[in-house]
Structure 1
């Protein structure tokens, strides 16, 4: 091999090595971004779970309050009927 050909091969290898280093840096940045995205997805998932739990508690509480209101409304109607009956008897 001639010195010129050998130099061309070495130059090409240096360029390839440089390109490989650039790709490595690029992939490292992508890995960091991916890690950040995965962390955010995990956080979002935990937040969604907490929100669903809170929603369930609220729905359960609302159903309980609805039953109480219904019972109070019935009691109020009964008391009104009793008052009217007492007024009528007087």
Structure 2
């Protein structure tokens, strides 16, 4: 979390945006932004709002994407069967 907060701070500074400016543009309170940058504590909603303004929301969207299969050969590809996308989980 500390690395994430530091990366966000560096991204903000590289875009030459003040804490006040980022808070205003994102709708995240200045206190919440300062707390995030200083102690790494923030809500997911605030983190995503900041991501929109800093241009890195796509990085979060990609986190939970299903990984595509990688194949070492054409034979491996042909031997696999296409699995349908799951629509619900199973309780174990």
TM-score by length of structure 2 reads: 0.22
Higher share in helix: 1
- Structure of greater Rg: 1
TM-score by length of structure 1 reads: 0.23
Greater relative contact order (Cα < 8 A, sep 6+)? 2
